[in-house]
Copies of this chain bind each other. A is one copy, B any other.
Amino acid sequence: MSAAPESASFADRFAAGRAELGPLVFGLDPSGALLVEWGLGDDADGLERFVDIVLEAARGRVAVAKPQSAFYERHGWPGIRALSRLVDALRSDGVLVLLDAKRGDVGSTNAAYAEAYLGAGAPMPVDALTVTAYLGLAAMGPLVERAAGSGSALFVVTRSSNPEGRALQTARQADGPTVEAAMLAAIGALNADLAPGGIGPVGAVFAPTHGEAEVDLVSMNGLFLAPGLGAQGATVQDVAECFATCPDRVLPSASRSLLSAGPDAAALADAVQAMAEEVRKALA
């Protein structure tokens, strides 16, 4: 699908996919409740059938898909095997895979996470990975390096969609800025170094739902994952307003609001296509 070569950066590959299908990210969150609602059974076999259905619905309709690791981990290693099949098949179909796993640790452990998920040598290579930097963005070095070297991307949780995280994210560091502002600035510094004058490999998870004072998003020179379209309370209009200064850099994600159209693959595909169209127009 993508017009950009495989060796291109994630930003370039996303831009190509966006030009064709718009920026909607299809969230693939097979909760136990959903598997039951779909009549598949809340077990590894049901998960495999979920994979078949969403593959059919995603193909040719979205540029990016975002499986949430937790919902596969809850089936143990057979769940991870199903996730591997999903990831491989999506990428073969030309869909970029953003694995939502919120990994993050000290540097030596982050090197192992990088080896797990980024680059051709990984057992389950994805195009982008969400990470959490409670242990500091500077500890993310091995992940940043490997993302930059393999044309993949990281999305660092900066401003989350849920209210419970705001006290921490708005705490003020001794050097002045809030935690989230310091994170945006540090990401910007990495991107300026890794992709001077372009869009770098380090993005931010940034929720458009809190109606707070505007922050400078443009100078981060990176992409934004905007979570929670629909079920978590953000509307397409919220996304368009929050990212008005850089509409071409935002990846709005919807999961539950789309999956509720299943389990019929054709009905699900229609719902995905309709929302992709709506999102594409709002962020044109």
* A contact set with B: CB distance below 8 Å: 29, 31-32, 68, 70-71, 73-81, 83-84, 102-110, 112-113, 115-117, 122-124, 132-139, 157, 160-175, 178-179, 182, 232
The answer for the CA separation of A274 and B162 in the assembled complex, in Å, is 47
- The answer to whether residues A173 and B167 also contact, given A81-B77, A112-B71 and a CB cut-off of 8 A, is yes
Known: A31-B112, A73-B113, A136-B164. 20 other contacts (CB 8 A): A29-B109, A32-B115, A68-B105, A70-B112, A71-B109, A73-B112, A73-B117, A74-B112, A74-B115, A76-B80, A76-B124, A78-B123, A79-B123, A107-B162, A135-B164, A136-B162, A136-B163, A167-B175, A168-B182, A171-B178
Q: Which residues of B contact A139 (CB under 8 A)?
A: 162, 164-165
Max count, chain B CB within 10 A of own CB: residue among A77, A174, A182:
A77
Could you tell me the distance between the alpha carbons of A173 and B80 in the complex, rounded to whole angstroms?
38
Contact B157 A135 (CB under 8 A): yes
The answer for the CA separation of A194 and B171 in the assembled complex, in Å, is 28
Q: A79 vs B161: C-alpha distance in the bound complex, in angstroms?
A: 32
> A181 → chain B, closest Cβ, in Å?
11
12 example contacts (A-B, Cβ-Cβ < 8 A) are as follows: A68-B105, A68-B112, A74-B115, A75-B123, A77-B84, A133-B134, A134-B134, A134-B169, A136-B167, A167-B175, A171-B171, A179-B179
